[in-house]
Amino acid sequence: MAADAPDRYGVIGYPVSHSRSPVIHRLFALQTGQNMQYELLQVPPEKLVSAVLQFRRTGGRGLNVTVPHKTAVVELVDELSERAASAGAVNTLTFAPDMVRGDNTDGVGLIRDLQQNLGQRLANTNILILGAGGATRGIVRPLLESGPSLLTIANRTVSKAEELRARFAPWGRVTACSFDDIDTSLDYGLIVNATSAGLKGETPPYPAAAVGPTTCCYDLSYGLQPTPFCLWGAANGAALSVMGWGMLVEQAAESFYVWRGVRPDTAPVLKQLSVSAS
Ligand code: ATR
Q: How many domains does the chain have?
A: 2
pLDDT at position 76, please?
97
Does any domain span residue 114?
yes
Q: Say how many Å lie between the CA of residue 51 and the centre of ligand 1.
A: 28
- Which ligand 1 atom sits closest to the C-alpha of 202? 27
Same domain assignment for residues 172 and 115: yes
Q: Are 80 and 71 in contact (CB under 8 A)?
A: no
Residues of the chain with confidence (pLDDT) below 50: 276-278
Q: Are 103 and 83 in contact (CB under 8 A)?
A: yes
DSSP 5: P
pLDDT at position 164, please?
97
Q: Are 25 and 256 in contact (CB under 8 A)?
A: yes
Does any domain span residue 224?
yes
Nearest to 6 by CA among 53, 54, 61: 61
pLDDT at position 205, please?
87
Residue numbers annotated as active site: 70
Does any domain span residue 46?
yes
Distances (CA, A) of 69 to 7, 46, 91, 267: 23, 10, 9, 29
Write the residue with the smallest CA distance to atom 11 of ligand 1: 195
pLDDT at position 198, please?
84
Does any domain span residue 213?
yes
Q: Does residue 68 have a cis peptide bond before it, meaning omega lies within 30 degrees of 0?
A: yes
Residue 184, Cβ density class (10 Å: 0-12 exposed, 13-18 middle, ≥19 buried): middle
pLDDT tens, position by position, 110-166:
999 999 999 999 999 999 999 999 899 999 999 999 999 999 999 999 999 999 999
Same domain assignment for residues 63 and 142: no
Does any domain span residue 270?
no
Same domain assignment for residues 112 and 236: yes
Same domain assignment for residues 124 and 157: yes
Q: Say how many Å lie between the CA of residue 137 and the centre of ligand 1.
A: 12
SS3 28: helix
pLDDT at position 277, please?
39
Q: What are phi and psi of 59, to 5 degrees?
A: 100, 0
Does any domain span residue 22?
yes
In the chain, which ranges are E strands?
Answer: 7-13, 36-42, 62-65, 79-80, 92-95, 100-103, 126-130, 150-154, 174-177, 188-193, 216-219, 240-243
Same domain assignment for residues 156 and 111: yes
pLDDT at position 147, please?
98
- Which ligand 1 atom sits closest to the C-alpha of 130? 14
pLDDT at position 190, please?
98
Residues with CB under 6 A from ligand 1: 131-135, 155-157, 160, 194-197, 202, 204
Task: Give residue 143's domain range.
Answer: 107-245
pLDDT at position 232, please?
95
Q: Say how many Å lie between the CA of residue 33 and the centre of ligand 1.
A: 40
Same domain assignment for residues 24 and 87: yes
Does any domain span residue 45?
yes
Nearest to 160 by CA among 138, 182, 125, 136: 136
Q: Could you give the dihedral angle defined by the CA atoms of residues 13, 16, 20 and 25, in that order, rounded to the nearest 10 degrees?
A: 40
